[in-house]
Structure 1
Amino acid sequence: MMVSILQKQIKGQSGLELIVLTTFLLLVFSTTYVVFIQKDINTITEKINRLSKKTTNNVAFEIRVALSEGNGYEKNFTLPNSFVGMPYIVNITNYMVYININDRSFISYIPTKNITGYIIPGKNILYNAGGKIYANT
């Protein structure tokens, strides 16, 4: 009788040890997974920031060139369709080019507000007609 009770206690202890070990391993795995996911999110955010800044600077550069080259200048240029699969919007107002993506804005300054039209992701055309810059019109 005593042996039977002792065997049940050993089996119960083994089951409890297995549950504790499994819980510990699951906790370690989950923590490691969260750390790697956070690194991936940070990497993607940095890439979006870098691409957004580069694109606003590129649009501002193209507008500056169109302005400085004078009447008759025309240029086709292409912007990325998305940044890491995320759509964005380009706006030009009050001496600024800015990109909105994920509730964030990236700004580059331009020397004129005399711009008619709009810039879109993808293919664009800029031209200067009498000192006024036209975009995709």
Structure 2
Amino acid sequence: HLALTRLSRRYGDVMEVRIGTRPVLVLSGLDTIRQALVKQGEDFMGRPDLYSFRFVTDGQSLAFSPDSGEVWKARRKLAQSALKSFSIAPSPTSSCSCLLEEHVSKEAEYLVTKFLQLMEEDK
């Protein structure tokens, strides 16, 4: 994301980059993203069907799914409901402000651990 931020400063809020052989539209800036997601949501509701996304998620991801239309809308509604519930539910630990923060922290910790394991295997 840092490299894309630097590129957006140079080329603007709307860019096309290639991930492998696939062109991918990258949006930056609050106004540009709001325009795309709120005012033109139907046009921007899908994600590219990238091998790397499928590999990392084993094809089971709400965030990186290439689905669109009614399937996407149903998944979005489910995700919004879950996020709302988690963001207002109190955390059982005092170190986190809500259950969502605790869950995200645990997932991030797991991801870092997994990356470190993979790096060790490659040595």
Looking at secondary structure, tell me which structure has more helix per residue.
2
Give the TM-score taking structure 2 as reference length: 0.23
Give the TM-score taking structure 1 as reference length: 0.21
Question: Which structure would you say has the larger RCO, counting Cα contacts within 8 Å and 6 or more residues apart?
Answer: 1
Question: Which has the higher Rg, Structure 1 or Structure 2?
Answer: 1
Looking at secondary structure, tell me which structure has more strand per residue.
1
